[in-house]
Amino acid sequence: MSGADCVSDTIRLADRLAKVFPSQTQQVTVAVSQLRRRGVDVIDLGAGEPDFHTPEHVKTAAAAAIRDDFTRYTAGAGIIELREAIARHYADRYGVTYDAEAVVVTTGGKQGLYNTAMALFGPGDEVITHVPGWPSIIEQVQLAGAEPVRVRTWAEHRFEVQADPILDAVTPQTRGVVINSPGNPTGAVMSESELGRLVDGLVGRDIWFVLDLCYEQLTYEDTPSNLPRLLWDRMADQTVLVGSVSKSYAMTGWRCGWILAPLAVAAACNVVQSHSTSHVTSITQCAALAALTGPQACVSMMRKQYLARRDALFSWVDADSRFRVSRPTGAFYLFPDVSELLSPDGRRTSAELVQALLTDAHVALTPGEAFDAPGFVRISYAASMDVLQEAWRRIQRFLA
């Protein structure tokens, strides 16, 4: 069902809605809250957000902003202190030296990607991305009037993005490549060597490279993956980096992200933003500033817990031969193949399996269909160990 099908036939919507689909991941959230309102004890491993609370020092900064009446319009691209802090964060983390003017603060990483799509892509353009992948990337390209081109990654390669299939998909119409690493829903992290080979094929061409780093602080292996530095060194003038405080600092509801881009692109993204949301709320900007410049122990604590949960959940799922799963190296999701659990005369699709798990076992997962990967399910491990244990017990009881 596309966006245009969501309303009655008598309402005429803009043509662009005909190709755009509502977020299936948000549909899981709605289904969970409906069940909870009816008093059902549902375990939600479908949501793509941390279960931790926003760190205290971040909340204190936001409260201070309200108390100090920091409640008026700010500059569209964000307060200069926050833009500087974001630039510094990337300099410290990756060794890339963006000016504060190259930073635009956006309403979550999602609006960073949206502004970028609206600023760079349009009718007649093709934009390559990888699937299984986060659906908004594709829908935003459609909203911009461009054509998304999907390149598949494979469970056998732990869903890692490889250069050759992307380069094979390039045509004279290609205007952009959008890569998400660490990836949602797969947890895959792109390697420096594959990115290097991809850059070899793209550098100097009229093709933008957009890197969605929204899970950048949630990686669990020591394998080097300094993708921003490689892009900075070899094709900074073709690169847009997108990040966010949402996942790293448990701040999904605050809505703060950013882009770092060549100055002209940053300015164009700011134009898009200035006519839509104007800017991120003044209070959230103060909170994000505290997150980036305050103590970082909260991030390490959360990462440590995600790692322990990943290892526990992976060991349970991997021990059940009906699931085929690889150990993800980033984000907070497991993405097992559940096709062994499907059959033509039973539950035929992963969407049906997920629906049955929700109604009968009261465990919410997200079907692979939401990520262009039927036959898979996404299990979030952004939940406490006790909750994960109980969810797995319920799933096992249901499957028995």
Ligand X SMILES: Cc1ncc(COP(=O)(O)O)c(C=O)c1O
**Interacting residues with ligand X (CB under 6 A):** 48, 108-110, 134, 180, 184, 212, 214, 244, 246, 252, 257
Q: What residue type is 65 in one-letter code?
A: A
We find the least distance from the C-beta atom of residue 140 to ligand X, in angstroms, to be: 10
Contacts of 385-392 spanning 24+ positions with Cβ under 8 A: 385/308, 385/309, 385/312, 387/43, 387/51, 388/45, 388/309, 388/312, 388/313, 389/312, 390/43, 391/43, 391/45, 391/363, 392/313, 392/316, 392/317
Contact 38, 151 (CB under 8 A): no
We find the least distance from the C-beta atom of residue 162 to ligand X, in angstroms, to be: 18
We find the least distance from the C-beta atom of residue 257 to ligand X, in angstroms, to be: 4
Closer to ligand X by CB, 352 or 372: give it.
Answer: 372
DSSP 28: H
Contacts of 303 (CB under 8 A, 6+ apart): 217, 218, 220
Give the residue ranges of DSSP H helices in 38-171.
Answer: 56-67, 80-94, 108-120, 135-143, 163-168
Closer to ligand X by CB, 3 or 185: give it.
Answer: 185
Closer to ligand X by CB, 33 or 173: give it.
Answer: 33
We find the least distance from the C-beta atom of residue 397 to ligand X, in angstroms, to be: 30
Q: Is the backbone of residue 93 left (phi > 0), alpha (psi -120 to 50) or beta? A: alpha
We find the least distance from the C-beta atom of residue 183 to ligand X, in angstroms, to be: 7
CA angle, residues 229, 224, 315, in degrees to nearest 5: 140
Closer to ligand X by CB, 136 or 270: give it.
Answer: 136
Q: Which two tokens stand for residue 118?
A: 């609206």
Closer to ligand X by CB, 245 or 361: give it.
Answer: 245
Q: Strands of the chain (E only): list them.
A: 43-44, 103-106, 126-131, 147-152, 174-180, 208-212, 239-244, 257-260, 333-334, 363-364, 366-367, 377-380
Closer to ligand X by CB, 105 or 202: give it.
Answer: 105
Contact 148, 142 (CB under 8 A): yes
Of all residues in the shown chain, the one whose CB is closest to ligand X is 108
Closer to ligand X by CB, 4 or 242: give it.
Answer: 242
Q: How far apart are CA 87 and CA 100, in angstroms?
A: 6
Q: What are phi and psi of 260, to 5 degrees?
A: -125, 125
We find the least distance from the C-beta atom of residue 31 to ligand X, in angstroms, to be: 17
We find the least distance from the C-beta atom of residue 244 to ligand X, in angstroms, to be: 3
Give the residue ranges of DSSP H helices in 213-340.
Answer: 227-235, 263-274, 282-293, 297-319
We find the least distance from the C-beta atom of residue 216 to ligand X, in angstroms, to be: 10
Q: How far apart are CA 214 and CA 80, in angstroms?
A: 21
We find the least distance from the C-beta atom of residue 96 to ligand X, in angstroms, to be: 20
